[in-house]
Structure 1
Amino acid sequence: MIKITEKNRSIVFLAGTILIGILLIGAVMYIEYDDVEDIEIVNEPPSTTFPILEKKIANLKQQNFNPTSYSTLATEIDASYQQGLINSSAKTNLITNLTSVYSGLVYNQCGFFLAGTNANSSTDVLNWLAQLERISAKNVKIDNYRNQIKWYQYYSLSLPTKVNNFIRPGITNYDEATYKVLKTEVQQMPNLKPEYKNKAKFSKIRTELTAKLERFNTQFYTSE
């Protein structure tokens, strides 16, 4: 049996004091750590809107064309950036993607117009090209579509008017050189690409104008 002396009693008391101190320090550290964890959760940054915006851009391909869709989404992207929901790199990525998708949609509308498969006017399509030029800068594709739309209008509206103005005054207005130039232009439509001038709309125009010119030519040479 250990005999408890005054010296032993002091040692036991000191050891107990140290143990209690260690336990108290541990408890305080645990509480402080728990508080830090709580603070980190509260201050956690808000969720990013990047995947939501990315999906909205992709969905444009499945929706009916809307010329306001670019500005609407560009505004949403900028708002997310201003609110800290996306960083500058994500914003640049989204705007680049949006511009690419919207460019494709505008080019599709140009192709539909030139193929005669939608009811949009040339003014509408040219306005969309002008908008796209402001968004993405001038490029060859925009120039090509703009040029083809110009010739589309010429061969569908201006050339028939020229032929009618040549014929309307009668045989006194007949000129063989003018007749040959007009007939060649009607039959070849040289400035319009084959994929457009071979569509039913222009085939009909060629047939009708060629017939008018040939009748006028025959009338002139058989009138005497």
Structure 2
Amino acid sequence: MEKRKLIILGSVIVIGLLLIGGVTVFEGSNISGPEMVNNKAGSNKNDLEKKIENFKKDNFQPELYSTLLMEINSSKDQGLIESSSAIYLTEELNNVYKNHVFNKADYFLNQGNGDKNTVLTYLSSLEKATGKDAKIDFYKTQIPKYDYYVNSFPGKVTSFTNGNPASFSTEKYNSLKREAENMPGLDNQYKSKGKFTSIKSSAVSKLNSYKNKFEEYDRERRLNSIDVEFE
């Protein structure tokens, strides 16, 4: 009889423990479920992705990059997005930013439109944001060279060739002619364009014309010198 009571009592205890455990699990699931849903519902990852996509399509606004980057970091700090999502979104944003800046640089180098200093500022800002990049370095060297051969070099040639033949310098002539023919520092993809072949042709023509004037002047000077000797 005693043994039977003990068996019944043990069964009751086991059943009670199972019921308590079941209630605890049920309550726990009721707590964690809404919290998980609320966390997902509060995420703004999709909104950030849409903003980055719009940044890609819109006209380039450099200040928008900084705004979006701050928003991504702020969202991560507030727990609205995971760190992995923040890294992904930042990489996407940087790629869009790069494409915008590189397009500006390409447009300047191929069309000659735009302000040199503005484009160089874009490149420097991009480098500061994303780090060293061979393509950034390429554009940062080519844009000043492009600007020099288009806007400064022809003036140097004109200034030299407009001088008095008596002040002709063979050394200066050779230096400018080499520069016109080779355009050192400017990439072949640009110097082969019609704009630069025209600059080269014009510069060489002016230099040779000036040299011819000097040679004519020098011949006359020599002849006059001989005439004086025979007088």
TM-score grouping bracket, smaller chain normalisation: 0.7 to 0.9
* 1:5 corresponds to: none
* 1:158 corresponds to: 152
Map 1:10-89 to 2 at 5 A: 37=30, 40-41=33-34, 44-45=38-39, 46-89=41-84
Amino acid at match of 2:185: N
Q: CA RMSD in A?
A: 2.6
Distance of 2:58 and 2:198 partners within structure 1 = 33
Structure 1 residue 190: Cα displacement: 2.5
- Residues 1:191 and 2:185 are matched in the alignment: yes
* Alignment TM-score, normalising by the size of structure 2: 0.73
2:87 to 67, 80, 92: 92
Q: Do 1:167 and 1:173's aligned partners in 2 also have CA atoms closer than 8 Å?
A: no
* 2:109 corresponds to: 114
* Alignment TM-score, normalising by the size of structure 1: 0.75
More helix by share: 2
2:119 to 125, 131, 138: 125
Q: Deviations over 1:141-183 (max 9, x none)?
A: 2222111112112212332232123223210121223212211
Q: Do 1:49 and 1:85's aligned partners in 2 also have CA atoms closer than 8 Å?
A: yes
* 1:15 corresponds to: none
Please identify, of 107-116 and 49-58, the stretch whose mean Cα deviation from structure 2 is larger: 49-58
Q: Do 1:116 and 1:201's aligned partners in 2 also have CA atoms closer than 8 Å?
A: no
The share of aligned pairs that are identical, in percent, is 35
Unaligned runs of 5+ in 1: 1-24
Unaligned runs of 5+ in 2: 1-18, 221-231
Distance of 1:151 and 1:91 partners within structure 2 = 39
SS, match of residue 38 in structure 2: coil
Structure 1 residue 101: Cα displacement: 2.1
How many residues get paired?
A: 193
Q: Whose radius of gyration is greater, 1 or 2?
A: 1
- Residues 1:103 and 2:92 are matched in the alignment: no
